[in-house]
Every structure is written in C-alpha cells, then in structure tokens.
Structure 1
C-alpha cells in the first residue's frame, strides 16, 4: 500500500485558508512568465479571423477563406501535441525559439501570397507551416503553474485564471484583428499577429527559471509514454473538439452575418461579446469554492453549452445574436476550466504539457473543421446556416461525454497509467 505523508506548503506562496486570485498572483516569480505569455497568446486568437478576413477580401469567397484558415488549424492541431512532448523532453525554450521564428516567416509569406492572388494550393502551402509553428504558450504557462503550485489548493484557481486569460485574448484578439483588417488594411491583422508572436514568444522563452525542468520531464517519460494513452484524456479531446466547433462556427457565421447587413465592423464586437461572456463566467468559476466533483461540473456545464449553442441559428437580429452569443460564451468557460482541472488528476506531471497541447490542439482542430463547414454552408445555403455547426459539434461531443464519463475518474494516488497498464509508483500524497 502507498504510504501517507504530510506535505508542506509550497515555499513559493503562503498557505491561507481559502485560495483566491489575489494569492495566486502573489506567487513568487509568476509575473515573469505571465506578462510575456499574455502577449505571446494574442496571435492564437487573431490568426483564424485574420486569415478569413484577408482571404475573403482577396478572393470574395468565405468557402476559400474558411479552407485556408482550416489548413492552418488542422496543422496546428496535428503538430501541437508533438510540440508539447518536445517541450516536456527538451525544455520549453528549445521548442519556442525555432517555432516562433518559423511562424513569423510563414505568416508573412501567407500574407504576401494572399495579397498576390496566389492559387489556393499556394495558400495551403504557406498555411500549413504557419499553423504547425503556432507557439503553444497557453499549455506552457499551465505547466509552469503546475511546477509552482504542486500539491497546492491553488491549482484549480490557476486553471480558472488561465481560462480567463485565454478568453481575454479571445475578446481582444478578434477585436484587434477585425479593426486592423477593416480600418487599416486587410493584411494588417496577419502582420500584427506575426509581430506579436515574435516579440512575445522570445520574451517568454527568455524566462528560464520558471520553466519545468527537463530532468523531471525525462523521469516522467519513463513512467508514462504519452498523455494520449490515458482514456480520460481521449474523452476530453472529443469534448474540446466540440468547444472548437463553437469558436470556428461563430467566427465565420458572425463575419457573414455582419457583412450581409452592411456592418462588417460589428463582427469584432459580436465575437467580443461572445468571448466576454466566456471571460466573465471564467472569473466567477475561479472565485467559487466548488464542492461538486469536476466530472459532474463538466457534464452539467457541457449540457448547458449544447443547449445554448442550439439556439444560435434562430437569431436574425444583432441584439438577439449578441444575447445568445453572450450566453454561449458564459457556458464555454466552465467546460474549459473543468476539463483543464481534470488533467491534473488524470495525467502525471511530466506529461502535462503534452496533455494540455492535446486539448488546445483539439480546440484548434474543431475550430478548423467548423470554419470549413460553416464557410461552405454560408456560401451554399441561407445566411446563418453556419450557426448549425456549433449546435452539431456540441451535441455530438455531449453524447460521447455522457457515454464515456466513467473514464474521467482519476486513478488512485498511488497509480499511474502507462500504455494502458496500471503500475504502482512511489508518490507523495496529502
């Protein structure tokens, strides 16, 4: 039987009776990676909408624009977990620096090709490396919190804080990209995205003291080959695919809706309202001392998300669409936060960067598929048909989540999973 010992509070932060955002942000060294990490995360929220707006401007087709954006999203989803595993094995800095440089060059190349009316295959050729090299800063920040707060009750607060930060980028990113593309130049969104990636990514990579140690990651790799081998992670991947379908479907459909009413500038406002709802509920979730188990919270929250997303296609006015978008956004944050929180119990520490990138990649893949399908629906059918995509994606994912919910139960503290086989390993428990 595993022994039981008493752990001491982390020396990086005090141990109050009730964890909260204030205490989390007083964690020693946190701001050294939070500030550059925030700048480096903006491109993730700007990239898809910048490509859609630029390519639609140069080709006149949302279908082509969606396909180009989807190529970027799919390549990011495919390569993100590999990037996470390399970061666990060789260190975040070793992965970030070449990735940031490649992404900047690829993004600028894609911009030049789009402005030069290049054929679709050429846009795809540039979109693939652009997506594959998107820096996985969000998962890397979450992994750094895991090092700082190991064994601390602040971990769930950190998960909520990171979700809020993600959603703040999804408020600011689309607004900034839309404003740049519609008031400055159609290419300004992608150019700014590349610049932020370069500056923010290099500054984040320079913070060596807070990154997880390579030695710890190497030890964990012996015990656990891949986060994908854990059944609960695979269920969460499907869940996050559904969340990605909401992001992608909303981006294309809102752009098409605002153009159809002659107010393209409202696109960023409506999408920002959707993301603001996500951010607000994320703040509230992080401030609550939850007594309900994370798995139950995920099931309830996801059911609410599927129900809210199912009403989007019925909205035919700006105000109604803004209200429904706000509601959908408020349902997303609880699902995201709880999913990331479940990773802590399901995945060994040395594989968490990879696990987080699987989830991030799932959102990107769901978004890419949704952008493609929604773009085709908007081109071929009635205005607003693209809003059927968030409904379909979340309902299908909810069905999988309900059927496989038993796989989200964390293994006992003294057990880890490697290639589907249980092994007893020495661990420290509370």
Structure 2
C-alpha cells in the first residue's frame, strides 16, 4: 500500500513543471518567464530535498513529511492565486521557492521503505525497477492530464489537481506507520574492506557520488528542455493540447523498458550498464532536433524513452552501492535533486532559446545536454567501477545496524 500511496504523492512531480509552464505562459505570454518560474520551483526542490532527506534519516519520515506537506500545499495554492491575479514576477518566484522547497522526494522515501522491507538483492532490484516503472507511469499520466486541464479547463487547473493528488497521496503515505523504516543509528565510521574510515558529512561527499550527481544533472537538463520545447513545438504545429500526449510517449517508452529491464537478472557490471544507458539516451535525443511534425517526434521520443528507466534504475542501485545505510534516503534524494537541478536549467535555457529562435532551438539544448550526460558518465565510469560494491542494505537487517 505504501507504493500506491507514494505513486499518488508523486503525481505533482510530473504535473507541476509543465503545469507551471502552461499556466504562466497563458497569463504572462512568455516562455522565458514560464521556464524561469518553473526553474525556480524545481531548483528549490533540488536544493532542499537532500536536506529534508537527511532530516528524515535522522528522525523518521512521519515527523518530517507532515509539516513539509503543509508548506508545499500552501506554496502551490499561493502560486496559482498569484499567477491568476497576474502578480509581479517576483511574487511568483517567491511562492515557487516555498512550493518547491517543501515538495520533498517521495521516490526516495518509497525506495527507502522497499530497502527496509526487502532483504534479498534480486527482489530489491525488481522492487527498484517496479518503482522506476511507477515513476514513468506517473510521467505518462501527469503531462497528459496537466495539458488537458490547462488548455481545456483553465490555465491553473493542472496545478490545482497536483495540489489535491500530492496532499492526498502524501497523507496516505505518511500515515502508514508499519512500513516506515526505523531510524538507523549513525555510525562513526564506514567499513571499507577491513579498514574503518570516517563517515562523510553528507552522502554527496561519498567517493563517486559527486560524479554520479553531475551525470544526473545533465540528464535532468534533457528532461527540462524537452518539456518546454515540446509544448512550444506543439503550439507551432497548431496543436498545443497534444504536447502532453507527445511527452507521454517519452514516458511510455521508459515504462515498457523499465518493466522489461526489471524482469531480468543482470550479471554485467552495474557501472557499465549505467554508462551504456546514457550513450543510448544521448543518441536518441539528438534525433528530436530533426523532427518535422508531432507524429515523428512522438515516435522518436517513445523509442528514446526506453533508455531512461534502465539508466535511472542503475543510478539508484549505484547510490545504494556507494553510500552507507544511515545515508540511504539522502543518497537517493540526491538523484532526484540532481535531475531537478538539471531540469530547471534545461527549462530556463530552452525557454530563452525558444523565445529567441523557435522550438527546435529548445531541442538543440536537449541534444547538447544529452551528449554532456554521456561524456560525464564516461568520465565517471572508472571511479564508479572502483568505488561500487555489492549492495549492503539488501542483505543486512537494518534493525540490527
């Protein structure tokens, strides 16, 4: 049940970005402004989310998530009201900081519960693959729903529905106490082989994590640029309402690939599979720039999406192989954070290029980000291969740590 609650609580992550772009663009008439507000919201989430996750690791999920849920709801409702009243842009940015900063990373919270509930590595791999597929399902439904609501009902409808689903799912998730992982006592050292070394102040400082985070920043830049560029391209084609369906094709390809990937037991090195995924993603994204109509774009996005879920699954597994158990939630949150930072950067850059040139300029931003992602993964490969180790928490009773 916690997985179902987490899925509903994650709906805002696929609706808030495109919903903010559609709402602000409708009220203010600028993709640059829309992308900037969306970027501020996502960056706020990215900056605060790991700190919230660290707090969760120290005190437990329920004590932290309830007040954060209240703040996030307040911020999103305030953003809707301010945009509807066409308030000064500074007001939008302020409310976006509040809404984004309190949003949290339910994907990492759900995965932390799985790591507590499942002990056997292969089952944990399947659980992570399932959650990545849930992420993609959310990204299939969310953009379509947000686009239909914002274009066929009122511009702010997408964010209002995101508020309802996020609040309801968040409350349902938090109130499930039985599956909440207990607080793991922090250790003074982390065993590496037979040598005990001082633990890092944060999961991001664990060897291998900074490079892994940079790869996900570049990946997030792809996602942010593609979101804004797809909306603009659909508008240029006279079918703005179809942008959600095109984005859903991107997520659908990822969903199918995630299910297939999770059903197989892999023996090849995790770091190698992760790097190959980024190369496939970069090659596919490069084709977006050449799409001449929405049908071609949707097809190419569906095929390219097949690289997303396996790469994210492997990335989360790399985090679990790198960080100590008492930093797991924070470590997983850094994946979402890095993608969020990149998404904000991509939305902003794509918005600027689209206003200055056209939608294809936004896809060019995505293409450059794609190859940056692959290049960073290649640079990180030796470090990830050297630092990665068998996933410890899957075979360790966390109540005994």
TM range (shorter): over 0.9
Equivalent residues in 2 for 1:302-381, closer than 5 Å: 302-381=278-357
Match of 2:259 in 1: 283
- Whether contact under 8 Å (1:72, 1:132) holds in the other structure is yes
Q: CA deviation at 1:276?
A: 0.5
Distance of aligned partners of 1:283 and 1:220 in 2 relative to their CA distance in 1, 3 Å threshold: farther
1:201-251 Cα distance to aligned partner (Å, 9 max, x none): 11111011211112x1x3347653321111222122111112211211111
Q: 2:366 aligns with which of 381, 386, 390?
A: 390
Deviation at 1:383, TM superposition (A): 3.1
Q: Judging changes above 3 Å, is the alpha-carbon distance between structure 1 residues 331 and 197 closer, same or farther for their aligned structure 2 residues?
A: same
TM-score after normalising by structure 2: 0.92
Matched, 1:93 2:94: no
Is the contact made by 1:88 and 1:350 (CA closer than 8 Å) also made in structure 2?
A: yes
Is the 8 Å Cα contact of residues 321 and 389 (structure 2) preserved in structure 1?
no
In 1, Cα distance between equivalents of 2:392 and 2:152: 56
Residues 237 and 293, structure 2, Cα contact 8 Å, conserved in 1: no
User: What corresponds to 2:272 in structure 1?
Assistant: 296
Structure 2 equivalent of residue 47 of structure 1? 16
Match of 1:219 in 2: 186
- The answer to whether the 8 Å contact 2:320/2:391 transfers is no
Q: 2:173 aligns with which of 204, 214, 220?
A: 204
Deviation at 1:57, TM superposition (A): 0.2
Deviation of 1:385 after TM superposition, in Å, equals 0.7
C-alpha deviation, 1:415, in angstroms: 10
Q: Among residues 206, 209, 212, which one is paired with 1:236 in the alignment?
A: 212
Residue 179 in 1 paired to residue 148 in 2? yes
Q: Distance in 2 between matches of 1:245 and 1:386?
A: 11
User: Which of 64, 70, 80 does residue 111 from structure 1 map onto?
Assistant: 80
Q: Compared with structure 1, are the counterparts of its residues 411 and 277 closer, same or farther at alpha carbon in structure 2 (3 Å cutoff)?
A: closer
SS at match of 1:219: coil
Asked if the contact 1:142–1:162 (Cα under 8 Å) also holds between the matched residues in 2, the reply is: yes
Unaligned runs of 5+ in 1: 1-31, 417-426
CA 1:414–1:318 in structure 2 vs 1: closer, same or farther (change >3 Å)?
closer
Q: After superposition, what is the alpha-carbon deviation per residue over 1:262-299, rounded to whole angstroms, capped at 9, x for unaligned?
A: 11111111000111011111111101121211111111
1:132 equivalent in alignment to 2:108: no
Cα offset, 1:152, TM superposition:
3.4
Q: Aligned equivalents of 1:136 and 1:151: distance in 2?
A: 25
Q: What is the CA–CA distance in structure 2 between the aligned matches of 1:386 and 1:229, rounded to whole Å?
A: 33
Matched residues in 1 for 2:391 and 2:16: separation?
42
1:402 equivalent in alignment to 2:345: no
Q: Where do 5+ consecutive residues of structure 2 fail to align?
A: 191-198
Alignment match, 1:77: 46
> Does structure 1 retain, via aligned residues, the 8 Å contact 2:320–2:392?
no
For the aligned residue pairs, the C-alpha RMSD in angstroms reads: 1.9
TM-score (normalised: structure 1): 0.86
What does 1:4-83 correspond to in 2, within 5 Å? Answer: 32-83=1-52
Taking the aligned partners of 1:162 and 1:34, their CA distance within structure 2 comes to 8
- Write the distance in 2 (CA, Å) between the matches of 1:222 and 1:379: 52
CA distance in structure 1 between the partners assigned to 2:284 and 2:262 by the alignment:
22
How far apart are the structure 2 equivalents of 1:238 and 1:287? 28
